[in-house]
């Protein structure tokens, strides 16, 4: 686990999970939202965004946190990833979290409420196309996320296996 992608709908907890994984693994977090959105929430042009992601993916290790839905160019980072964590939470759970955390723009709500129908199928297809060479974790509940974090922490805390038997 050296190059990790954390994806899922808005308010699923991608940034929180990425930060927790970073604490456990020591891998640096790259918050894609902060790089993608320009002043006044203007989107980075698609070709430029793909080039930025390809450049970021050349780094030795990272956790890339973000799912930009219709703006995303996920293949640029999937090609370099060894692990994908997909927070596949129910729309109502994400909506409730979004309401609790802050006021969101109308375009965020449109994306969130149509994520399962529009963004999710393309994301799942892209992951499936690359799944043979990477570890994929689909987490559907906060409890599943907690178990995953515990599993990662335990795996890294365990002493290495003796190869000599």
Q: Percentage of the chain with pLDDT > 90?
A: 50
> What pLDDT shows up at residue 109?
64
Q: Residues 6 or more apart from 4 whose CB is under 8 A from it? A: 18, 21, 27, 62, 63, 64, 81, 82, 83, 84, 85
CATH number for region 3-156:
3.40.50.300
Those residues of the chain that have pLDDT short of 50 are 165
Tens digit of pLDDT for each residue in 25-67? 999 999 998 999 888 888 899 899 999 999 999 999 999 999 8
């Amino acid at each position: 686990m050296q190059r990790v992608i954390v994806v899922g709908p808005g308010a699923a907890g991608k940034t929180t999970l990425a930060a927790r994984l970073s604490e456990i693994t020591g891998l640096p977090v790259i918050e894609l939202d902060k790089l993608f959105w320009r002043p006044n929430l203007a989107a980075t042009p698609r070709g430029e965004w793909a080039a930025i992601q390809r450049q970021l993916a050349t780094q030795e290790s990272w956790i890339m946190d973000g799912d930009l839905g219709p703006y995303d160019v996920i293949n640029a980072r999937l090609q370099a990833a060894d692990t994908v964590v997909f927070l596949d939470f129910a729309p109502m759970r994400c909506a409730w979290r979004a309401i609790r955390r802050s006021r969101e723009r109308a375009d965020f709500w449109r994306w969130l409420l149509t994520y399962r129908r529009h963004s999710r199928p393309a994301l799942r297809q892209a992951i499936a196309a690359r799944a043979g060479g990477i570890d994929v974790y689909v987490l559907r509940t906060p409890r599943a996320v907690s178990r995953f974090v515990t599993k990662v922490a335990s795996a890294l805390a365990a002493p290495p296996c003796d190869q000599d038997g």
